[in-house]
Amino acid sequence: MSLAIFLITYLAIALGKVPGLVIDRVGIALLGAIAMVGFGVISTPSAVQAIDLPTILLLYSLMVISAQLRLGGFYSWSASRILTLLKRPKTFLLVLMAVSAVLSALLANDIVCFAFTPVLTAALIRSGRNPIPFLLGLAVSSNIGSAATIIGNPQNMLIGQVGQLAFGRFIAWCAPPTLVSLLGSYLLLLRIYRGRMDIKETRRIGGAPGAWPDFNPWQSAKGIGAVVALLALFFTPVPREVSAIAIAGILLCSRRMKTRDILGLVDWHLITLFCALFIVIHGIVQSHDLNLLMERLAGWGVDLGNSTMLTGLTVLLSNLFSNVPTVMLLIPFMDPTDSHQWYTLALSSTFAGNLFVLGSIANLIVIEQASRMGVDISFREHARVGVPVTLMSLIVLVVWGMI
């Protein structure tokens, strides 16, 4: 029964829908978790214990900190600052990708894309620039940059918590291939769009740049101070989730920002997805059916201890099921003593997000936001950049793993 529930759940997650129902991947995962309990595969107490609370606390806390910066107008202010470089498109693209990557490594890459896209699109159209290469640069760099730290994206948070990886060592191993991949993606964008960064016709802006709060220096400073304090605490013996929830609690003590406004920006759908997948994976692992499947794969020569094979399998599964479900699926089979294996899983699952449009939520955010303003980025247009960028990034990762 557990194997059937698992296969149906993951197949539906891969499809992204259930025929005849208006349900998304979060709802599908939740139904899978309900089925695991409802059919008696695991008990209710066991399902609750299956949820990794430290990971959920860390994820939740970082969303609160990101909400502080969003409400303080920091994201839109950051985007507007780099627009002064528009007269030099190559320099502008480089700075845009660098800023996006750094912010994504420290905060949420989805929010960075959500804040930057409308501001950039409007400014690029008004200046006569072709917005597509710059918007794709934003999506690509936010995905790549988020791979550099444990807190850059949800799957890295999970890997860091479950694998008990040190924050500093994670950066030391993951940052070099991230930087090389970021530079490589910049050069690829310049080559692909050589001579096509300007547009001759006048485009009409189809929508408003977005209703974002005005820049508030004090509220933004509070958010930046929270990030700095959090990073400092991550280098201490204090558990990451304790540090994060303490900082988030301090931010909630405000005389200006309502708790309802801050918590309204928490991505409860993503948190629900995490909780549901924890339960689904626990059910299949407890039944040992997944172990038998992995033994069969091992018999076919699939060795997760081989960084190249692990990278290839992760990329394949990430583009079938999305990266978070893939990471949860593979984590039980990681060697707890081999930190390099965990680093490889983190980088490959994140780099895989650039391959196709559906590989990353950040891609969808950029494309959807741009579409509302009259800029259409097709699946094929994204693939022209995403495929070579992903292949280049994976080659960098494999070579780095061999050094």
The pLDDT assigned to 392 comes to: 98
β-bridge partners, 198: 129
- The token pair that represents 397 in the structure block: 């990762």
The Cα 42–Cα 50 span in angstroms is 10
The pLDDT assigned to 75 comes to: 85
Considering Cα of 354, then 358, then 362, then 364, what sign does the dihedral take? positive
The pLDDT assigned to 204 comes to: 57
Helix (H, G, I), strand (E, B) or coil at 129: strand
Per-residue confidence in pLDDT tens, the chain, 403 aa: 888 998 899 889 888 788 888 898 889 999 999 999 999 999 999 999 999 999 999 999 999 999 999 899 998 888 888 988 888 999 999 999 999 999 999 987 888 888 889 889 988 888 888 999 999 999 999 999 999 999 999 999 999 999 999 999 999 999 999 999 999 999 999 999 998 887 655 555 555 555 567 899 999 999 999 999 999 999 999 999 999 999 999 999 998 889 999 999 888 988 999 999 999 999 988 877 777 777 777 777 777 888 899 999 999 988 888 888 899 989 988 999 999 999 999 999 999 999 988 788 888 889 988 988 889 999 999 999 999 999 999 999 999 998 8
Domain ranges of the chain: 51-402
Is residue 70 within 8 Å of 111, Cβ to Cβ? yes
The pLDDT assigned to 40 comes to: 93
Sequence-distant (6+) residues with CB within 8 A of 60 are 245, 248, 266, 271
Helix (H, G, I), strand (E, B) or coil at 16: coil
HSE of 344, CA atoms in CB hemisphere, 13 A: 26
| Alpha-helical segments (H) within 72-130 | 74-82, 89-106, 109-126
The Cα 262–Cα 279 span in angstroms is 28
